[in-house]
A = this chain, B = another copy of it.
Amino acid sequence: MDPTEREVACFEAGIKFGALYHQFAGTPVSPESAASLERAMEEAIENQPHCASVDVDVLAERLDTSHGYAELTGEYMEVRMRIEYADTVVHTEMRMEEGYPMMRVVDVVERP
């Protein structure tokens, strides 16, 4: 069965999350460089089709900097995105839940 518009919109939302996570996982990050990484992640993924906005928080206070910097993983970031596909808007977010970086569809609505 062909996907509905809402289902394609959710597929597109998932692509952006997988892309963001696996493009930037492993990046060296410190409290000093967190802001530039957040901005680059947001603007990079906003280039992708149907990606209306991306908001990344690198949790600088959680970074283990015993070696001067950490490598970015899901433990160190929270992300929200808005995907607009045709007349559908999808809100998604990622945060840690029980030790796993959980990506979720928050809601799927018709564009106002």
Residue ranges of A at the interface with B (Cβ–Cβ < 8 Å): 1-4, 6-8, 10-30, 32-33, 36-37, 39-49, 66-69, 71, 73, 92, 99-100, 103, 105, 107-109
CB-nearest residue of chain B to A7: B10
Q: Is the CB of A27 within 8 A of B23?
A: yes
CB distance from A24 to the nearest CB of B (A): 8
Sample of 5 A–B contacts (CB below 8 Å) = A18-B21, A20-B22, A33-B40, A47-B69, A73-B73
| Copies of the polypeptide in the assembly | 4
CB-CB under 8 A from A23, the residues of chain B are 22, 24, 26-27
Q: Which of A22, A107, A109 has the most CB of B within 10 A?
A: A22
Contact B69 A3 (CB under 8 A): no
Tell me whether A2 and B48 are in contact in the complex, defined as CB-CB below 8 angstroms, given that A22-B19, A73-B71 are known contacts.
no
